[in-house]
Amino acid sequence: MLAFKDKSIISLNINGDNVTVMVNPSYTLLHVLRENLGLTGTKPGCENGDCGSCTVLVDGWPIKSCLMLAVEAIGHQVITVEGLKNAPIQRSFVENWGFQCGYCTSGFLMVCHALKNIHPDADDFIIEQWLQSNLCRCTGYGEIKDAVKAVLENKI
């Protein structure tokens, strides 16, 4: 049984690398990614699970890292926006004007990347269902949808 009673050194798999980090069990994954590991591409927003700007992939599925404890990630593979490394969805966001201020972009990229991998044949209903998890204050939803569609249609 895993047990952490106070500050402990844990091992996490982030972007394919095993890293060790000292955490309190109460630290969220978002906090550890940014403050302990310097992976600031994952953005804090509402920290309440509403906005999606902190979305990362855990075992390939999008997860809001503000609602996950870092210790929960032990034994799982975490991918942040830094781990996408020129994935087609990133190029597609550029070509389809999928961002304006850019703050929500890393969260949207993670959701769209997972959608392409999990549902490569996603229809409009599924695309909309997945994209509704994230908020864009600049309201760039149309362009973001264009970007994900271009990737799904292998135009990128």
Binding residues (CB under 8 A) for another protein: these are 1-6, 24-28, 31, 47-49, 52, 55, 58, 61-64, 66-69, 71-72, 74, 111, 129-130, 132-134
SS3 of residue 23 by DSSP: strand
89: amino acid identity, one letter: I
Toward another protein, which CB reaches closer, 16 or 60?
60
Tokens of 136: 């864009």
Q: Output the smallest distance, CB 58 to another protein, in A.
A: 8
Q: Tell me how far apart the alpha carbons of residues 82 and 106 are, in angstroms, rounded to a whole number.
A: 9
Give min distance, CB of 1 to another protein, in A.
Answer: 5
Q: 89, 125 in Cβ contact below 8 A?
A: no
- Least distance to another protein from the beta carbon of 32, Å? 11
How far apart are CB 23 and another protein at their closest, in Å?
10
Give 117 or 132: the residue with its C-beta nearer to another protein. 132
Q: Which two tokens stand for residue 43?
A: 């953005």
| Amino acid at position 84, single letter | L
Helix (H) or strand (E) holding 55: strand 55-58
Q: Which is nearer to another protein, 32 or 150 (CB)?
A: 32
Shorter beta-carbon distance to another protein: residue 69 or 150: 69
Residue 141: CB atoms within 10 A of its CB come to 16
